[in-house]
Structure 1
Amino acid sequence: MSVEYYTVTANEAGQRIDNFLLKYFKKVPKSVIYRIVRKGEVRVDKKRVKPEYKLVEGEQIRIPPVRTELEQPRTAEASDQLLERIDQAILHEDTHLIVVNKPAGLPVHGGSGVSFGLIEAFRQLRPNLPFVELVHRLDKDTSGLVILAKSRPALTALHQMLKAGEIEKHYRALVHGRWQGGKRHITVDLKRENNSYQKMQVAEEDEEGQTAESIFKPISVYGDCTLMDVQILTGRMHQIRVQAAHLGFPILGDERYGDFKLNRAYRDVGVKRLCLHAASLACYFELSGQKLQFEAPLPDDINQVLKALKLPK
């Protein structure tokens, strides 16, 4: 396989480059098409173009060699679907960082029987990036905003900002129970449960732990449940999940800290995973000299649960 050059005809003039390539490569997944355009492997008159670029008669298209679907290994199709999903979840990208609205069910990194996660998939999506690393983590079943750094200085700066509490992070949590008392500033010490690396618990007064601070604020009541805004002031493992359960308001769908019977009872209204979503990030980033602010709306599955909870029983 080698690079080919194609001259745009009158019939193709006005057509988007992505649609042209989809017809040209009939057996290649869409994600592959968008990837080669985004990486600049496809050029029109020696210039990079975006997928929505409209062709002009007489232009010359550089078409790189692409393996057809039949030539690709069986695992490639599933991988392409994931890469396309992640590509569509990118909310922001500049020279320093990338912000992704991570779907629930995708771990941020591989391990524990999972061959790949968000970061491994993203490195496949952007193989020419010399550096890309996770700035922070989200649980596998938590959806929402994740920051990736595109350089070591950016990663170091963002880590320092997180440690200093200079990145404002808000979550949405659907908890069981009708929240009382309005906004509450919750501070507890957390420790690993029986030295486990996978589960945390609230430390007793005479035990050592790490301080976890969050601000819980009710948004709306849905039946016997409350949708909460939770701002985290520290970044402890499973912080919101442990605090919510400790307060007697377990997050729906939480199989580790929640209520098993409640989770089973709420399956009928669509609770199939942890109802926790990283909804917003805001900070001033000195490397770029910009104030950054990102929001990710509640995903469809949680919205469907809220609608079902509103319905009369």
Structure 2
Amino acid sequence: MPSHLNSGEVRHITVDEESVGQRLDNFLIRILKGVPKSHIYRIIRSGEVRRNKGRVGADDRVAMGDVLRIPPIRLSERVEEKAANPAPPREFPIVFEDDAFLAIDKPAGVAVHGGSGVSFGVIEQMRQARPDARLLELVHRLDRETSGLLLIAKKKSALKALQDQFRERETGKTYLTLVKGAWPARLKVLDQPLHKYLLPDGERRVKVTTADNPDGMRSISLVKVARRLGTMPGLNTHAPDGFTLLEVTIKTGRTHQIRVHLASAGYPIAGDDKYGDFELNRELGKAGLKRMFLHAWRLKLSHPVTKLPLELQVELPAELLQWASRE
């Protein structure tokens, strides 16, 4: 069992230069390997993790010299057993790879990392598949139900450079999504703040809020109509105006941003089990759409080492392409 698990003592960790700018939750997930993500978020929310003796949020960025207080961590035998049984090794389709980072085509239904009831995700499986890799760290996240481009850093310098680009909105992230209804071509910009909250069972949700809400995070989505699809047999009752295939470029990377923005506008994503049209989803499932139609399609960025412009793209998987190509 890793030595840091079931530690009965308070520990203090000083943030080093290579970790500057990381979100607190990502920093702790990396430092406390084997500790479930849900446990890490719990000790942050409860205030047991302190930064320079003050409270700190999961999405706050750590700075050089910050002193983090880590409370005693006691885990059940089941969690200890899980930590002792690593994820099965798995490689994913490679879209791009060099010495600095790699981009994979993540399939739908696979979490990017373990936690919240998921034993392991992409990053744990890739670490097992590449035991000689000095470092493999997620640059950003995708929802479990979303497919497409996911970046993984192979060097800390590349991780910081790429995350800086995402934070400074210097990347162009475009998704393909199928929504219920005929999206109005004039509606091109969704600039609405989003607010995260918890359901009674502890599950996270997001909603559009007002500009004067201090907890609202500014969120911007740019929408372009890619293709209009008419009504589909058996779905006329639930989608009388047919469907629209959209290209959505996000200028901010908020949790569930595209899903909430589109649903709030009255055009929910086909197959979205959190914010979608549940009656329509049931009929779509019977017709063969077994997942949410949201795909991380294209990513424009600067290479973290050479600084040259780079454009990555991965086409729709077969189970979505057959829907997008319908007349």
TM-score normalized with structure 2 length: 0.66
Q: Which residue of 1 aligns with 2:196?
A: 192
2:226 is aligned, of 215, 219, 222, to 219
| Cα separation, 2, equivalents of 1:236 and 1:273 | 21
How far residue 235 of structure 1 moved from its aligned partner, in angstroms, is 0.6
Aligned partner of 2:256: which letter?
A: H
| Cα separation, 2, equivalents of 1:192 and 1:94 | 36
Q: Which residue of 2 aligns with 1:204?
A: 210
| Cα separation, 2, equivalents of 1:152 and 1:118 | 19
| Cα separation, 2, equivalents of 1:99 and 1:137 | 12
| Deviation sequence 1:33-60 (CA, Å, 0-9, x none) | xxxxxxxxxxxxxxxxxxxxxxxxxxxx
Q: Secondary structure at the match of 2:219?
A: strand
| Deviation sequence 1:240-262 (CA, Å, 0-9, x none) | 00000000000000010111101
| Cα separation, 2, equivalents of 1:210 and 1:289 | 29
Larger radius of gyration between Structure 1 and Structure 2: 1
Q: Secondary structure at the match of 1:193?
A: strand
Structure 1 residues 114 and 149, CA, compared in 2 at 3 Å: closer, same or farther? Answer: same
Number of residues of Structure 1 aligned to a counterpart in Structure 2: 228
Q: Which residue of 1 aligns with 2:95?
A: 91
- Could you say which structure has the higher helix fraction? 1
How far residue 293 of structure 1 moved from its aligned partner, in angstroms, is 1.1
Structure 1 residues 289 and 192, CA, compared in 2 at 3 Å: closer, same or farther? Answer: closer
- 8 Å Cα contact 1:283-1:292 kept in structure 2: yes
| Cα separation, 1, equivalents of 2:303 and 2:286 | 44
Determine if the alignment matches structure 1 residue 262 to structure 2 residue 280.
Answer: yes
Structure 1 residues 93 and 286, CA, compared in 2 at 3 Å: closer, same or farther? Answer: closer
- 8 Å Cα contact 1:190-1:201 kept in structure 2: yes
How far residue 206 of structure 1 moved from its aligned partner, in angstroms, is 4.3
Q: Secondary structure at the match of 1:211?
A: coil
Aligned partner of 1:96: which letter?
A: A
| Deviation sequence 1:129-188 (CA, Å, 0-9, x none) | 111100000000100000000111111111111111111110001000011134511100
Mapping of residues 59-208 of structure 1, within 5 Å: 79=88, 83-84=90-91, 86=92, 89-182=93-186, 184-194=188-198, 198-208=204-214
Comparing 140-149 with 195-204, which one deviates more in the overlay? 195-204
- 8 Å Cα contact 2:222-2:249 kept in structure 1: yes
Q: Which residue of 2 aligns with 1:38?
A: none
Q: Which residue of 1 aligns with 2:311?
A: 293
How far residue 205 of structure 1 moved from its aligned partner, in angstroms, is 4.6
Kindly, what percent of the aligned residue pairs are identical?
Answer: 40
Q: Which residue of 1 aligns with 2:239?
A: none
| Cα separation, 2, equivalents of 1:135 and 1:197 | 24
Aligned partner of 2:220: which letter?
A: E
**Unaligned runs of at least 5 residues, structure 1:** 1-75
Runs (4 or more) in structure 1 with deviation over 6 Å come to none
How far residue 292 of structure 1 moved from its aligned partner, in angstroms, is 1.4
Structure 1 residues 107 and 230, CA, compared in 2 at 3 Å: closer, same or farther? Answer: same
1:237 is aligned, of 217, 240, 255, to 255
How far residue 93 of structure 1 moved from its aligned partner, in angstroms, is 0.7
Aligned partner of 1:127: which letter?
A: P
- 8 Å Cα contact 1:183-1:218 kept in structure 2: no
How far residue 108 of structure 1 moved from its aligned partner, in angstroms, is 0.2
Aligned partner of 2:177: which letter?
A: A
| Cα separation, 1, equivalents of 2:115 and 2:169 | 28
TM-score normalized with structure 1 length: 0.69
Structure 1 residues 292 and 126, CA, compared in 2 at 3 Å: closer, same or farther? Answer: same
Q: Which residue of 2 aligns with 1:284?
A: 302
Aligned partner of 1:239: which letter?
A: Q
Structure 1 residues 202 and 183, CA, compared in 2 at 3 Å: closer, same or farther? Answer: closer
- 8 Å Cα contact 1:173-1:277 kept in structure 2: yes
Q: Secondary structure at the match of 1:92?
A: strand
| Deviation sequence 1:208-230 (CA, Å, 0-9, x none) | 30000010111101120000000
- 8 Å Cα contact 1:270-1:305 kept in structure 2: no
Aligned partner of 1:241: which letter?
A: R
Aligned partner of 1:263: which letter?
A: N
